[in-house]
């Protein structure tokens, strides 16, 4: 993980822990918002055509969206039930096992493909657009046992964000199910994070191509881009939780205002394109609002100081 990114995550985690117990009302609203975003983005990565607003209507009002398939509706409701299971497992003391993965997958595919929900595949599959070839079906039970043993051995030893990212990749690489592997792996990733006291990380639909790219790099043994990618999602969630939980007794200082990178480029001797590269690699603290990267004057100053210190 990039050292600047890691330091920011550790600092924000420390600040969030110091605020605990978090304000119940603010925490409830933020959890509702992030759950909707989590479900929408995870399903959209896999091809769902539901919008964020439509996802919210299905979850909160039980509305059926005209022109959308029954499967897409089930994907939303199922994902919410899977998240509830993840939340319960996050506070349990028992280690994460292959059985828990199958439990989560059962909920992901409920009423969509009940015959295969929670069942390991027994046939060979190929991942469209990926060079990686998943192992044959007969190897999966042993590989999943090895995966769970590895995860249990690394908990408390490996840095939690890196562990979550690698656990996610190893599970996707095994590809234990006919369908629903990506959703299940992202749920497991967040289970690992939440057990370590982090908020869930949301892989955004707009970053789908970069997500696939860093997974492909991890297939070839280069895992740092994936860890940085997940770390940036973790940092975003930490920022949102801090903003929602910190008492607002006065307007925030100007140096903490989020500004588009095009405006930020006017303050520093770097182009907007270079700032975008720094944001994408985690070297500069930044947030995406829609498709536009934003940063703060304080973050710009911190990056410049880090350069001068090297």
Active site residues: 175
- Say if residue 21 is preceded by a cis peptide, omega within 30 of 0: yes
Report the Cα–Cα distance between both ends of the chain, in Å, rounded.
17
Q: In whole angstroms, how far apart are CA 191 and each of 113, 151, 168?
A: 24, 12, 10
Tokens (6 digits) for 282 = 């985690």
The overall longest dimension of the chain from CA atoms, in Å, is 61
CA angle 306, 309, 310 (to 5 degrees): 95
DSSP reduced 3-state for 270 = coil
Pair 134, 173: CB distance under 8 Å: yes
- Which phi and psi (to 5°) does residue 2 adopt? -55, 135
Radius of gyration, CA atoms only, the chain: 20
Could you tell me which residues are beta bridge partners of residue 287? 294
- CB atoms inside a 10 Å sphere around CB 20: 9
Pair 204, 34: CB distance under 8 Å: no
User: What's the number of CA atoms in the CB half-sphere (13 Å) around residue 54?
Assistant: 18
> Cα–Cα distance between 303 and 57 in angstroms, integer?
41
Instruction: Give me the sign of the Cα torsion angle 195, 86, 213, 30.
Output: negative
């Amino acid at each position: 993980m990039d050292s600047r990114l890691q330091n920011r995550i550790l600092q924000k985690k420390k600040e969030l822990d110091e605020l605990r117990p978090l304000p119940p009302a603010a925490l409830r609203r933020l959890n509702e918002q992030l759950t909707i975003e989590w479900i929408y983005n995870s399903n959209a990565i896999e091809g769902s055509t539901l919008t964020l607003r439509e996802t919210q209507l299905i979850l909160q009002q039980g509305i059926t969206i005209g022109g959308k398939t029954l499967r897409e509706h089930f994907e939303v409701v199922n994902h919410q039930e899977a998240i509830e299971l993840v939340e319960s497992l996050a506070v349990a003391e028992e280690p994460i096992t292959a059985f828990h993965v199958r439990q989560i997958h059962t909920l992901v595919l409920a009423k969509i493909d009940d015959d295969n929900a929670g069942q390991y595949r027994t046939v060979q599959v190929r991942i469209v657009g990926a060079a990686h070839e998943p192992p044959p079906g007969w190897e999966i039970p042993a590989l999943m046992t090895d995966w769970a043993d590895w995860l249990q051995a690394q908990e408390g030893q490996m840095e939690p964000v890196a562990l979550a990212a690698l656990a996610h990749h190893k599970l996707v690489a095994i590809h234990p199910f006919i369908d629903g592997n990506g959703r299940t792996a992202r749920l497991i990733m967040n289970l690992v994070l939440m057990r370590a006291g982090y908020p869930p990380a949301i892989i955004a639909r707009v970053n789908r191509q970069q997500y696939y790219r860093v997974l492909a790099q991890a297939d070839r043994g280069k895992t740092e881009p994936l860890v940085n990618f997940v770390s940036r999602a973790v940092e975003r969630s930490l920022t949102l939780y801090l903003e929602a939980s910190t008492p607002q007794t006065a307007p925030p200082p100007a140096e903490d205002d989020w500004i588009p990178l095009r405006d930020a480029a006017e303050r520093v001797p770097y182009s907007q394109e270079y700032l975008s590269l720094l944001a994408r690699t985690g070297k500069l603290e930044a947030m995406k609002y829609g498709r536009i990267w934003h940063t703060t004057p304080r973050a710009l100053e911190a990056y410049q100081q880090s350069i001068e210190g090297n």
